[in-house]
Amino acid sequence: MKNNKITGTTIKIKNLEIAQHDFPDQMKWKEAKKACTELGEGWRLPTKDELNILYKNMKKIGGFDGGEYWSSTEGEMYGAWGQYFDDGLQVNFEDNVKGTHSVRAVRSI
């Protein structure tokens, strides 16, 4: 399934192609992983390190809400990693079952 409303005019940084837009609603972690995959053609949730690349280039990429974003990287004991886009702090969001955060899809190029 292709969704140009999300991918739009993509931005390329290093080995990443980044969707132009966030998904319109915050999501739980498993929903976020599924939604990115459903974009097709290799789209996915960024890893923790890739999410930090997005943060460092957020002005160039544009469209971030300044809140918390999911990564695909699972925590060592529970939860999943994410990043605050207001200050760059990466944290293990302990509640990846009920908690909701923003989502930006990427794919490798």
Most confident residue range from 3-7, 66-70, 77-81, 104-108: 104-108
pLDDT of 28 over the 60 cut:
yes
Listed in sequence order, the residues at least 6 apart from 67 whose beta carbon sits closer than 8 Å to its beta carbon are: 26, 84, 85, 86, 101, 102
Domain 4-108 fold is Mannose-Binding Protein A; Chain A (3.10.100)
3-class SS at 89? coil
pLDDT of 49 over the 70 cut:
yes
Are 81 and 75 in contact by the 8 Å Cβ rule? The answer is yes
What local confidence, expressed as pLDDT, does residue 1 receive?
43
Q: Nearest 5°: phi and psi at 16?
A: -120, 140
pTM value is 0.91
